[in-house]
Structure 1
Amino acid sequence: MAHAHRTHPVDVGEARTGGLRGGPGRLALLPLRVFLGATFLYAGLQKLTDPAFLAAGGKGSLGALLGQVHGSAALPQLVELAQRSPVAFGYAVAGGEVLVGIGTLLGLLGRLAALGGALISLTLWLTVSWPATPYYYGNDLAYLMAWTPLVLAGAPGFSLDAALANRRRRHGTRLYG
């Protein structure tokens, strides 16, 4: 292939990936991925192994927490929805956190995992940590903002997504047989 004259400082691939395609820039989000992935995996596993949390009522239960935050939530309708079945909602949140954590750590469906993490953080911010004053005392908003670069860029380095993309490029774009 002949060298084409570059009229722009970056090629289309670099522009599409925000300059993260090759070199050390592709690893810039790795510390964030590891932190968020490990934190969400830990949070989900902790919830799944805590019988008090996964109860409809009682000290330390999700049911009790939902009752406490209902009056101060930005969207009390979300709290009411969860109160219909706090145990099922607890399993859904914990399972979501585990899946987000694994997907983020492995870089598998990285943007989808990051979007899931952002949605969990947004939901918690609008319900549980909304009344934090000043706003920066509530950690869920910070988590929401931390997920944003991963939603936009995915997992460009040290990820299963990147490995699968490289394999598809090497072997053509055949998806079936």
Structure 2
Amino acid sequence: MAHGMRTDAHTPYLDEGRAWRDTAARYALLPLRVFLGVTFVYAGVDKLTDSAFMHASGSGSIGDLMRAVRDSSAIPAMVDLALKNPVGFGYAIALGELAVGIGTLVGLLSRLAALGGALISMSLWLTVSWASSPYYYGNDLAYLMAWLPLVLAGAPVFSLDAAIRSRRGNRSGADW
């Protein structure tokens, strides 16, 4: 036997290692998906149920928050747009977070949901947390980066997207 060649006796160990790596790779994004989904559902529900948040002014209101960050944001015009109707903007963010969170958790239109999460996180980073110094004190940039793998990969396991793909595959296979 040539040096470095494996015998058939080693093949099961190689297959087990490969199978474990394949399984780990397949499920690698699941914890991130659950974390982001739960977090965004919680954020949306929290905003919708906070009696102070959905007001144009007052302590803890979306309006006061927007006015406080306006001059330190990367894009003040974006804040000005939100200030035209702070309550409407608050509802849009809260409902967007809820839709993104639910879509991410159940894996329905998962890439679109992840893109929505990335856009929400980017808009909050460019406005609310832009002035955080050093930058890693602001969490919106980290959320933006966390969404990107899900934008690229979607939800390949434990998702409605995967179930729909599987069902379509079974139907097209039946036509043979």
TM-score range, shorter chain: 0.7 to 0.9
Question: Hey, what does 1:76 align to over in structure 2?
Answer: 76
Q: Which runs of 4+ in 1 moved over 6 A?
A: none
Q: Which secondary structure does the structure 1 equivalent of 2:74 belong to?
A: coil
Question: After superposition, what is the alpha-carbon deviation per residue over 1:97-156, rounded to whole angstroms, capped at 9, x for unaligned?
Answer: 000000000011000000000000000000000000111110000000000000000001
Q: Residue 58 in 1 paired to residue 35 in 2?
A: no
Rounded to whole Å, the distance in 2 between the matches of 1:95 and 1:26 is 30
Q: Which secondary structure does the structure 1 equivalent of 2:172 belong to?
A: coil
| Gapped regions of structure 1 (runs ≥ 5) | 1-21
Residue 51 of structure 1: how far off its partner (Å): 2.0
Q: CA RMSD in A?
A: 1.3
Specify which structure has the higher proportion of helix: 2
Question: Hey, what does 2:18 align to over in structure 1?
Answer: none
Q: TM-score, normalised by structure 1?
A: 0.84
- Check conservation: 1:74, 1:127, Cα contact below 8 A: yes
**Identical aligned residues as a percent:** 66
Rounded to whole Å, the distance in 2 between the matches of 1:54 and 1:110 is 28
Question: Hey, what does 1:169 align to over in structure 2?
Answer: 169
Q: Which secondary structure does the structure 2 equivalent of 1:59 belong to?
A: coil
Please identify the structure whose Cα radius of gyration is greater. 2
Residue 52 of structure 1: how far off its partner (Å): 0.6
Question: Hey, what does 2:136 align to over in structure 1?
Answer: 136
The size of the alignment, in residue pairs, is: 153
Rounded to whole Å, the distance in 2 between the matches of 1:87 and 1:135 is 28
Rounded to whole Å, the distance in 1 between the matches of 2:41 and 2:27 is 21
Question: Hey, what does 2:86 align to over in structure 1?
Answer: 86
Q: TM-score, normalised by structure 2?
A: 0.85
Matches within 5 A, 1:33-48: 33-48=33-48
Q: Residue 124 in 1 paired to residue 124 in 2?
A: yes
The residue identity in structure 1 corresponding to 2:68 is: Q
Q: Which secondary structure does the structure 1 equivalent of 2:131 belong to?
A: coil
| Gapped regions of structure 2 (runs ≥ 5) | 1-21
Rounded to whole Å, the distance in 1 between the matches of 2:172 and 2:82 is 46
Residue 48 of structure 1: how far off its partner (Å): 0.5
Rounded to whole Å, the distance in 1 between the matches of 2:25 and 2:165 is 18
Question: Hey, what does 1:23 align to over in structure 2?
Answer: 23
